[in-house]
Amino acid sequence: MRPLLDVVDLCRRFPVGKSQLHAVDMISLHVMPGEAVGLVGESGCGKSTLVRMLTRVLDPTEGSIRFDEREIGYIPAARFTRTPDRALIQMVFQDPTESLNPRFTAFDCIADPLRRLKGPWTTAGLKARVEDLAGMVGLPVELLGRFPHQLSGGQKARVGIARALGPEPRLLILDEPTSALDVSVQAVVLKLLDDLRRRLGVSYLFVSHDLNVVRLLCERVIVMYLGKVVESGPVEAVFATPRHPYTKALLSAIPSRGEEGGPRIRLSGEPRSPIDPSPQVCRFFGRCPLGADACQTEMPELREMGEGHRVACHTPMD
């Protein structure tokens, strides 16, 4: 099977004065049709920049993004809006309040992408489709006439999901879709997302720093650190035997795993600066509990360490 999304050596650098901030540095990843892939990493590791490039609202500096065998990375963001692929890559946003236009009713929020990307519609046809989507995400049809400020957090999250599913995307990128919700609502929304994926066969790229959620919902996981992929592989393999010291530290920080995952690893030191980073030094060096000499002279490449399990480290753990 060919991957639905195939990203090769993607880079995005931002100018900072005379220097360059390497937000995303040579990232390669793929998502298979119908697969759920988790993307984890701490704040500032470049997740959002990567996601904005994959949703094609931000242009990459270098690298290729192939979607369904078509190269879409070079199409300027403004022009991509008018291509047929626009409907096929959609996104659920982190903050359901901020991502809904306060002047649009729930109906208009869901109908907007349908009007722009699908259609032409008759009034009745559009209404039926919006109500259908509302039903799919469990939003009572009576609430469609309400404005976002009249909806609860969970209801707003459902509007955001319905809006993203409206154009029938093949790839849905979820940017921490539940982090702004109450814990009780989180579970319900995650269950809904999982059901929808199985029913619709959509691929998910699930950005999160809640590792438990990734373990529950995803088949594969990609761990990012300072603009680079440090480890990727099947969820079971990565969670059971993390090979990269950063992944291991990340996993040991999950509260409920404290005991079973061994003693908590505390990282000391500051993260390296992403501005003009040395291409020879491992990005994790300085914070890494292992830190060999080789880490300062050669950037570790991603290497296969078992079935689909790839790690970028000179001294992988077992």
Question: Which residues would be at the binding site for other proteins (CB under 8 A)?
Answer: 52, 55, 57, 77-78, 81-82, 86-87, 89-91, 93-95, 98-103, 112-113, 116-117, 145, 147, 149-150, 160, 163-164, 167
Please answer whether residues 265 and 284 qualify as being in contact, where contact means their C-beta atoms are separated by less than 8 angstroms.
no
The tally of CA atoms less than 13 A away on the side-chain side of residue 241 is: 10
Please answer whether residues 222 and 38 qualify as being in contact, where contact means their C-beta atoms are separated by less than 8 angstroms.
yes
**For other proteins, which is the closer residue by CB, 21 or 89?**
89
* Cβ 144 to other proteins shortest distance, Å: 13
Long-range contacts, stretch 16-20, CB < 8 angstroms, 24+ apart: 16/275, 19/275, 19/276, 20/275, 20/276
Q: What does the DSSP 8-state code read for residue 32?
A: -
Q: State the pairing for strand pair 70-71/89-92.
A: unpaired
* Cβ 29 to other proteins shortest distance, Å: 20
**For other proteins, which is the closer residue by CB, 84 or 255?**
84
Q: E strands within the chain?
A: 5-16, 19-31, 36-40, 62-67, 70-71, 89-92, 171-175, 203-207, 220-225, 228-234, 303-304, 310-311
**For other proteins, which is the closer residue by CB, 49 or 232?**
49
**For other proteins, which is the closer residue by CB, 111 or 226?**
111
* Cβ 89 to other proteins shortest distance, Å: 8
3-class secondary-structure state, position 143: helix
**For other proteins, which is the closer residue by CB, 163 or 309?**
163
* Cβ 147 to other proteins shortest distance, Å: 5
**For other proteins, which is the closer residue by CB, 145 or 262?**
145
Q: What does the DSSP 8-state code read for residue 149?
A: G
* Cβ 93 to other proteins shortest distance, Å: 5
165: left (phi over 0), alpha (psi -120 to 50) or beta: alpha
* Cβ 166 to other proteins shortest distance, Å: 8
